[in-house]
Amino acid sequence: MPELPEVETTARGIEPFLVGRDIQAIEVRDPRLRWPVPANVQQACGQKVARVWRRAKYILIDLENGHLLIHLGMSGSIRVLTEPSQPGKHDHFDILLENHTIRFNDPRRFGAFLWSDSPATSHPLLASLGPEPLSDQFDTDYLYRRARGRKLAVKNFIMDGRVVVGVGNIYASEALYMAGIHPSRAAGRISADRYTSLVNAIRDVLQRAIRHGGTSLRDFAGSDGTPGYFAQELLVYGRAGQACFQCSADIRQKVIGQRSSFYCVNCQR
DNA sequence: ACAGTAACCTGTTTGC
DNA sequence: TGCAAACAGGTTACTG
């Protein structure tokens, strides 16, 4: 489901169907999402799509005037339909193009579909977000500086979107393992050198996951029910009780900040 | 400003 | 087998 690599994959997947095309209609059949889908999304109708891109875990659709924001939440997915089909349960809205339909499905309803008049990055939900993990602004100096004086667990620190965006629960565990840092360690008590490792690990794991098309491309690519490619690459996530690949100790699972975390007590300090 | 927690939902898995 | 509890990839809002 939607971690940054999947949002990226989804955005790239729908882009060619949208850019340069006119939005003919937006059909909202179940507006109950994180926030009720507002009527003003209809302003997109009749407009041509200029750009489709991603910021944090938001998919942004830039129009000639205004912007659509889509968030997949925990369980959202988007499919491109090439021929008409009956909407199913949890299919909340469609974006109708001349030859295709973009269909949004979200059982848990933590997703969002919103409109912004001004550039999407100035929307209240996006305005105070931290840098993209794959951008130059996200480096050792930045992360080390932001961590000064912080006492919360480093795992929660890197999952805070105001610090850096796009690091979800899976990749937080993975990156900390790769960097050899214990997820419960206070963010302010980690050396600059170790933050260098962490920055590299975050970059590396996200890039690799994107290259693999995310962890559950199935949502987008026509479901065959098989888990995504990246699931096989996971080093600690979901491996509680199994042997660490580096030292063979049992991988532990612990709840940190209300989320399951996976780590090796030997390899992570 | 910071840290911790509750809350928003439904579907699937786990445990008795 | 049946049922209830626990859990799931995200984020905001509230509390102290």
- Residue range A192-213, pLDDT digits in tens: 999 999 999 999 999 999 988 7
Q: Which nucleotide is nearest to A6 (CA to C1')?
A: C9
Q: Which residue is closest to B9 in terms of CA–C1' distance?
A: A108
Catalytic (active-site) positions of A: 2-3, 57, 259
What is the per-residue pLDDT for A196? Answer: 98
Is the pTM value of this prediction over 0.85? Answer: yes
For residues A22-29, average pLDDT: 98
What is the per-residue pLDDT for A227? Answer: 55
In Å, what is the separation between the CA of A175 and the C1' of B1? 27
What is the per-residue pLDDT for A120? Answer: 84
What is the per-residue pLDDT for A218? Answer: 40
pLDDT tens-digit readout, A169-187: 999 999 999 999 999 999 9
Element holding A174 (H helix, E strand): helix A169-179
In Å, what is the separation between the CA of A261 and the C1' of C6? 16
pLDDT tens-digit readout, A142-164: 999 999 999 999 999 999 999 99
In Å, what is the separation between the CA of A216 and the C1' of C7? 19
Q: Which nucleotide is nearest to A89 (CA to C1')?
A: B10
pLDDT band at A217 (very low <50, low <70, confident <90, very high): very low
Check if residue A89 sits with its Cβ under 7 angstroms from strand B. yes
For residues A204-230, average pLDDT: 68
